[in-house]
Amino acid sequence: DGVNINRNFDFDFIHDVKHPCKPNYQGLKPFSERESIAIRDVVQQYQPLAAMSYHAWATNEENPVIMYPYASDFEHTMPTEDLERFKSWGETLLGGDAERAA
């Protein structure tokens, strides 16, 4: 139905894209899609300490990137130790390129 699953979660949800044919359409409400419900349920059941998501949309094999949540107005309050750990993982995944891991 055109919902961008990356935007269908109950975090900084803003229903600003009204047309389901637009690439950033987030759905009518958070967790309106089976896929986002499944991810929510797994996270609630297993309560992981961390998760990392790799998106290929803005990348190619020669220039992969790892990004913070797109278009989020949320003030990033990740503890410094966790932030450094994520940056290190990202740098490792990107073959040692700290510029693309931040």
Q: Per-domain residue ranges for the chain?
A: 5-46, 49-102
Rounded Cα distance between 21 and 99, Å, is 34
pTM, rounded to two decimals = 0.69
* pLDDT for 3 beyond 90: yes
Provide the token pair at 54: 């790799």
Provide the token pair at 66: 């790892």
pLDDT single digits (tens) 7-19: 999 988 888 999 9
* pLDDT for 30 beyond 90: yes
pLDDT single digits (tens) 61-99: 666 666 655 556 666 667 788 878 878 887 887 777 656
